[in-house]
Structure formats: C-alpha cells, structure tokens
Amino acid sequence: MKNSQKGSVVPLLITIIAILVIGGGIYFYSQNKESVTNIEPTKENVSSSTTNVSTSTVKSDCGTDMNCFINAAKQCSTSTIEWSMTIDLFGVEDTSQLNMQIKGPTNDGKCMFYSHTNSRQVAMSAETMSKAKSEGVTDDQIQEQLKVMNDSVKDLTGMTTSCTFTNEYLVQLLADWSKGNYSSEDLAPGNCTMTDKNGKII
C-alpha cells in the first residue's frame, strides 16, 4: 500500500524539477493573483495600492527596501535593491536572491529594468515533508530529491533578465511582488531578454 502511495509523491517532485529547469530563471506561479494581460496598464487602471509611496526622495541604493525601489520606479530613476523572492511550487519553496536595478528611461519613454540571480535554493515545506513521510517516503529519499532539485537550479545562478516597462506597469509589478504575488505572465509586457551565467541568450 505504501509503495502505491509513495508513487504519488515522487512523480510530483519530478514534475516540480521539470518546472524549475524548463521555467528558466524566473518562473512565477500564481498566488492569489489573476494573470496580467499583455496590454500594459495606464495610470488610470494601475491599482491605488502604490499611491502611498512618496516620490519626494529617490535613493540610488535601496538596500532591501522595496518601498524605496518602488519610489525610484515611479520616476524611472536609477536605483538598485537586493531582493529575496520565494515561490511556493506545490509545497516546494524555490527561493532566489536577486539584485534588481532600474537603469533609467529608454528613448521611447519606457523604463529599463534589470535583475541578476545571485543565488537560488530549493527547500521543502514542513507540511509537504510531513505528507511525504506519511506516504512512506524516507528522509534519505527526501534529501535525495532536494539535492536533485538544487542541482537542477544551480546553473540558473548568474542568470540576468533585462526588460523595458512603462513606469506605471513597473510600479504595479513591484508592489505585487512586495506582497508575494507572482504570476507566470508578470514579465510578458516587458520585451525581456534573458541570458545565462555565460552571457548566452536563453
């Protein structure tokens, strides 16, 4: 009986490994958020959730302060932030440490956004680990699967993403990320280019 139950966990982990590899550097799994469309929002339809960010002072180095970074995005002023992003993929937590930058306006009036993946690590939530054990998966098997998943994302360290967004869209995007709301369509409007750690376009 345990063997049949165990079979229900391992294929899920294999599927997650495939998502981590195929999804590239930034795979956003929707968390309580409707997918955005490919139409960039105007000032009128951007959520009012970002209107409380002051535009009086813009810092070039925001540290880990997302409000500071959103503030810079409003004016497309050059700025940088160190940001930790965790995506929950069916109980497997994929955490990326990112350096994100606003590089200023483009000639066509959009805003240049850049991110660099400093590190990436996969862990299993306590609930998922407990469920796996209840279905007969051993600690050694769990650690083996975690090693496979972490090996699968190792090559994604050093990946870069460069996009151009309207200021309004970038402000809304960053506000959503600050609340842990991610979608697989987040970067769709950005005409993005991704490169691996060797500079090869993905």
| Domain-embedded: residue 52 | no
Domain count for the chain: 1
Highest mean pLDDT among 7-16, 45-54, 63-72, 140-149: 63-72
Using pLDDT thresholds of 50, 70 and 90, give the confidence band for residue 27: very low
Using pLDDT thresholds of 50, 70 and 90, give the confidence band for residue 12: low
Query: Which residues, listed in sequence order, are joined to residue 112 by a DSSP beta bridge?
Result: 104, 164
Considering the chain, what is the average pLDDT of its residues?
A: 78
Instruction: List phi, psi (to 5°) of 140.
Output: -60, -40
Sheet holding 193-195, edge to edge: 79-89, 92-105, 111-124, 160-165, 193-195
Predicted local distance difference test score (pLDDT) of residue 125: 86
Query: 159 or 30: whose pLDDT is higher?
Result: 159
| Domain-embedded: residue 49 | no
| Domain-embedded: residue 38 | no
Predicted local distance difference test score (pLDDT) of residue 183: 86
Using pLDDT thresholds of 50, 70 and 90, give the confidence band for residue 200: very high
| Domain-embedded: residue 44 | no
Closest CA to 165 of 193, 194, 190: 190
Q: How far apart are CA 190 and CA 186, in angstroms?
A: 9
Taking 90 as the threshold, does the pLDDT of residue 178 lie above it? yes
Token reading at 119: 């590190």
| Domain-embedded: residue 8 | yes
| Domain-embedded: residue 15 | yes
Place of tokens 């190792």: 154
Query: Which residues, listed in sequence order, are joined to residue 160 by a DSSP beta bridge?
Result: 116, 195
pLDDT in tens, 107-158: 999 999 999 999 999 898 888 888 888 888 888 988 888 898 888 888 889 9
- In the DSSP assignment, the letter for residue 28 is P
Place of tokens 């939530």: 125
| Domain-embedded: residue 40 | no
Query: Which residues form the domain of 136?
Result: 2-33+58-195
Q: How far apart are CA 180 and CA 161, in angstroms?
A: 19
Global pTM value: 0.71
| Domain-embedded: residue 48 | no
Predicted local distance difference test score (pLDDT) of residue 57: 65
Residue 156: CB partners within 8 Å, gap ≥ 6?
24, 25, 117, 120, 196
